[in-house]
Amino acid sequence: MLVKRIIPCLDVKEGKVVKGIHFENLKDVGDPVELAKRYEEEGADELVFLDITASYEKRETMVKIAEKVAQNIYMPFTVGGGISTHEHVSNLLKAGADKVSINTAAVLNPDLISQLAEKFGSQCVVVAIDVKKTWDRITRRSYWEVYINGGRTPTGKDAIAWASQVESLGAGEILLTSMDTDGTQNGYDLFLTRKIVDGVKIPVIASGGAGKLEHLLTVFREGGADAALVASIFHYKNFTIQEAKAFLKKRGIPVRIEEP
């Protein structure tokens, strides 16, 4: 059985790690390099850095920060935010990133997924899907709508159909964020996560809502996620990654724990 991954998420704005609720009311929580070093020491499996305003501000994401992170840690990390060209991906990978995460550019130009997968390999192409529950007045039904530009712009796309499409285009992994639960610390959207997981064969990273260790347990058991993206409870030191993994292992979830 494949181990489940615990992945701290570092949302970056103006060179600082920030955290908000529903993608708003951002608060400064630290330096990206120092946090990366701390999480490696605690036993994180990977890291994700997201430049959360890059797409909205129409600028490229943080190559210099990626370089500094790569100089200070050994574990794999992903960088996302504002990525829209082959050159930009190449620069981030050369800087030391192991994967790139694309969202806005993928929605606007789905062929970019295939192009990046062909040039750099599917294993380093993560498609981030930011989702909010929406009511369609025409069909008179609710659905999970894909948002872009850091959660600012609705697209009308159905998240479940989009997840299936990005898999067919060559994405190696999906980073699924529920905007409804993001930052609330009330738990992941388990129903949404399970719907996406059941609809694709590639790994799904669940994001948005972890507030206690039981939430990690349920997103693996009930949501079926391959990895859990976590921010608040680690940033604010509610729990350490070692504590989270020990909790999960005791309850039968396969996780990687390094022996001292």
User: Which listed residue (11, 45, 51, 189) is catalytic?
Assistant: 11
Q: pTM for the whole thing?
A: 0.91
Confidence (pLDDT) at 19 = 58
Confidence (pLDDT) at 231 = 87
Q: What is the DSSP letter of 122?
A: G
Inter-residue contact 17 to 11 (CB < 8 Å): yes
Q: How far apart are CA 78 and CA 158, in angstroms?
A: 25
Low-confidence ranges of the chain (pLDDT < 70): 1, 19-29, 52-61, 259-260
Q: Are strands 125-136 and 141-148 parallel, antiparallel or unpaired?
A: antiparallel
**Residue length, the chain?**
260
To the query of whether residue 130 is one of the catalytic residues in this protein, the response is yes
User: Which listed residue (31, 51, 111, 130) is catalytic?
Assistant: 130
Question: Of 254, 92, 249, 103, whose CA–CA distance to 173 is shortest?
Answer: 103
Confidence (pLDDT) at 18 = 77
Confidence (pLDDT) at 57 = 46
Q: How far apart are CA 125 and CA 79, in angstroms?
A: 10
To the query of whether residue 11 is one of the catalytic residues in this protein, the response is yes
Tell me the CATH architecture of domain 5-250. Answer: Alpha-Beta Barrel (3.20)
Q: How far apart are CA 114 and CA 122, in angstroms?
A: 9
Question: Of 37, 34, 32, whose CA–CA distance to 9 is shortest?
Answer: 32
Q: How far apart are CA 103 and CA 177, in angstroms?
A: 11
Domain boundaries, the chain: 5-250
CA distances from 74 to 37, 43, 126, 243 (A): 9, 11, 20, 21
Confidence (pLDDT) at 221 = 97
Amino acid (1-letter code) at residue 242: Q
HSE-up (13 A, CA, CB side) for residue 144: 22
Q: Are strands 24-30 and 173-178 parallel, antiparallel or unpaired?
A: unpaired
